[in-house]
Chains A and B, each alone.
Chain A
Amino acid sequence: MFALLPASVAASGSPSSTAAFIALGAPSLAHLSPLDLAVIAIYFVMVIWIGFYLKSKANTSEEFFMAGREMTAWIAGLSFVSANLGSLELMGWAGSAYQYGILAAHWYWVGAIPAMLFLGMVMMPFYYVCKTHSVPGYLKLRYGQGSSTVAAVSFAFMTVLMSGVNMFAMAEVMKIVLGWDLNFSIIVSSLAVAAYVALGGLRSAIFNEVLQFVLIWGGALLVPILGLIETGGWSGFKARLAHNIATGATASGDYTHMWRSMGHFADNPMGIHWTGIVFGLGFAISFGYWTTDFLVVQRVLAANSLRSARLAPVIGSFFKMAVPFIVILPGLLGLVVLTNSDGSLMHLVGENVVAAHPGAGLHSYNEVLPLMMVRYLGPGLLGLGITALIAGFMSGMAGNVSAFTAIFTYDLYQPHIVKHASDKHYVLVGRIVTIVGVVISIGAAYMVMNAAGIMDYVQALFSFFISPLLGVVLLGMFWKRATKAGGFWGLLIGTLTSIVLFLWVHFYPSALKYVALSPDAKDMAENMYRALWSVSTSVGVNVIVSLFTKPRPIAELAGVVYGATPLPTEEPVPFYKNEWFWTAIAIVIFLALNIYFW
């Protein structure tokens, strides 16, 4: 499929020589054949079919917002991972792998696995036993309405922005790869998502997430397989990369080890220290996201039993550990296999360089995955790869919209606007809010077009809202002394801390050395340390305020706090069905991967 590559980048030299990349441009990377278009069209027909089919299964609020709590561990687990496998995963991290090397895999391993296992084994019993419908719902049970409302408002704000990010990212991909108009992509995807979520509710979103998960593997797995065949396996890839670095064709750096360069901020291209990775990413960001972000927790709450709810994140962790194979590896392989039409090595550049040279035919880091697809996938397979991208983006949107709908209806509309209405009324509100959420997301998508970088933008959002929420939820779940006032002020001041730190560095970049504790720190490190400060502040304020205010009686904390909650006894099962057994296996694989790529 080399013929599909544009004669666009006639550059050579190092990534730093910007002018060297200016070359003839091409409107898009590929043109789809009728077979590819048929593959894409069939996907859209399928998702709408699922939406209409499930409409009759979403009549009550429990069915519409919680999928009837009927999901098996496998469905909930795949949906749990898939809801996170949106635009950023596929495009952004492949680009980051091309730019930073295998360091990007930290976001899949230490930045996800411990938190997922902690959610399943430690936190899920409390979420599940109290039968909450959302994370703000848990806060209401534990801390009262104030904390719940703060969390609900911030989460609703974040989800529609995230949905907009997904929408914009998809439209960008379609524009770059296929030359499709941005507006066309946004409208078509929005209508499809609005249709199947408004019709089938969370069950429809979960079904489509599982479908998307299969499509992503079916469509994207071929790229690293063919890439490894071409380079002669992992050893062959490393040999070619070493040769390119030795000859100056590729910027020098350690692209294939994860921890060796983490001793000092200046030793790695991300400008991160291992403390930032372990405590900032591995705890503040990761635990915040995987254990308190309702977008993912909602999928597990829909499980059909406590054992399924605990197993779901464990099942998800295995697939999460495997995702770098279809995301990180293609980015790495792109370093040695992507070539220009004249046979010279292609050099991808930052978005700002591409934007500074319109029409020059430059490609950004984020385009590495589509470029790899175009390189390896023929008619039909390319359509499947593009469908996988579309499905990933739409799934991300649907996940955010369905979570937004549940939060708005349960945690804002019901307690503050119409307190006592029929179940049917809230389902109708849910369907309307789904449409409204999509419309707001469209507005957010157009707003994101003016944002500097998608990744930094999302990272900032995480630390604004998610990390302080983690502090409040953890203390609430494991410390009986935490009070209503402590939770409220911890959440509020933790969030404000994050926003203030972000603005401080944004307007005074030199402040980064104070936030990240090093003059050599870079943007990624800033996000991690900001999250760490935020969760620390949240916990600190919560503890101090709680110690000066009156705690709730222990009897009122039953079902929501460790030590005050009798956990249900689970039926004995064979070891291969036991969640602890699979957790142990996941831990072993997680450690092995980190040691192998140390």
Chain B
Amino acid sequence: MHSSGISIWFFIGVLLTIYGAMILGYGLYELTLPQMAVANYHASVWWGALLLAVGLFYGLRFRPGRNA
């Protein structure tokens, strides 16, 4: 895919990084709120962190100009 310029994995990395940051940020804010039943799982925190980590990995690994 590098012959076409920016790799699709870079686009995916950027998107997941943005989503991960947004969801993790909200999850951390949510920790300060009175808890609801399912919110006890704190899914926003750990899922957001996971998305952010995966996004950063792909975003950096496949950033334009870097040979894969």
Contact = CB atoms under 8 A, between A and B. Distances in A.
Nearest to A1: B38
Interface in B26-65: 26-27, 30, 36-39, 41, 43-44, 47-48, 51
Contacts of A378: 26-27, 30, 38-39, 43-44
Given A50-B11, A211-B8, A218 B16 contact: yes
A226 B41 contact: yes
A376 interface: yes
Interface string A208-235: 0011001100100010001001100000
Q: A interface, by DSSP: helix, strand, loop or mixed? A: helix
Nearest to B3: A70
A39 interface: yes
A72 interface: yes
A35 B19 CA distance: 10
B12 A1 contact: no
A38 B4 contact: no
B5 A57 contact: yes
Given A2-B38, A214-B16, A380 B26 contact: yes
A479 B16 CA distance: 49
Given A42-B15, A68-B4, A211-B8, A35 B26 contact: yes
B1 to A, nearest CB: 6
Contacts of B4: 54, 57, 68, 70, 203
A222 B36 contact: no
Contacts of A376: 38, 43
B8 A380 contact: no
B17 to A, nearest CB: 11
A3 interface: yes
A71 B44 contact: no
Q: Counting chain A CB atoms within 10 Å of each CB, which of B6, B18, B43 scores highest? A: B43
Nearest to B37: A2
A39 B36 contact: no
B38 A375 contact: yes
A interface bracket (residues with beta carbon within 8 Å of B):
35 or more
A210 B12 contact: yes
A382 to B, nearest CB: 10
Nearest to B47: A222
Contacts of A72: 1
A46 interface: yes
A162 interface: no
A144 interface: no
A57 B19 CA distance: 28
Interface residues of B, number: 28
Contacts of B12: 210-211, 214
Interface string A198-214: 00000100110011001
Contacts of B15: 42-43, 46, 211, 214-215
A281 B43 CA distance: 38
B43 A381 contact: yes
Interface string A61-89: 00000001011100100000000000000
Given A53-B6, A381-B44, A38 B11 contact: no
B15 to A, nearest CB: 5
A222 B43 contact: yes
B43 to A, nearest CB: 6
Q: Counting chain B CB atoms within 10 Å of each CB, which of A3, A214, A226, A384 scores highest? A: A214
Contacts of B8: 75, 206-207, 210-211
A570 to B, nearest CB: 21
A96 to B, nearest CB: 25
A25 interface: no
Nearest to A377: B43
A380 B39 CA distance: 13
A6 interface: no
A430 to B, nearest CB: 18
B38 A381 contact: no
A207 B39 contact: no
Given A46-B11, A70-B4, A218-B19, A379 B37 contact: no
A207 to B, nearest CB: 5
Contacts of B41: 226, 229
A72 B14 CA distance: 21
A35 B30 CA distance: 13
A490 B51 CA distance: 51
Contacts of B30: 378-379
A50 B4 CA distance: 12
B64 to A, nearest CB: 11
B36 A211 contact: no
A498 to B, nearest CB: 38
Nearest to A33: B26
Nearest to B39: A378
Contacts of A46: 11, 14-15
Contacts of B36: 1-3
A70 B37 CA distance: 49
Contact of A218 (B1, B43, B51): B51
Contacts of B51: 218
A116 to B, nearest CB: 22
B56 to A, nearest CB: 14
Nearest to B24: A380
B11 A381 contact: no
A378 to B, nearest CB: 6
Contact of B22 (A203, A214, A380): A380
A214 B15 CA distance: 10
A42 B11 contact: no
Contacts of B19: 39, 42, 218, 380, 384
Given A50-B11, A218-B16, 4 more contacts: A75-B8, A378-B39, A380-B22, A381-B47
6 contacts: A1-B39, A207-B8, A218-B16, A226-B41, A230-B38, A380-B26
Task: State the 6 A-B residue pairs at the shortest beta-carbon distance, nearest first.
Answer: A380-B23, A380-B26, A207-B8, A214-B12, A57-B4, A210-B8
Interface of B: 1, 3-6, 8, 11-12, 14-16, 18-19, 22-23, 26-27, 30, 36-39, 41, 43-44, 47-48, 51
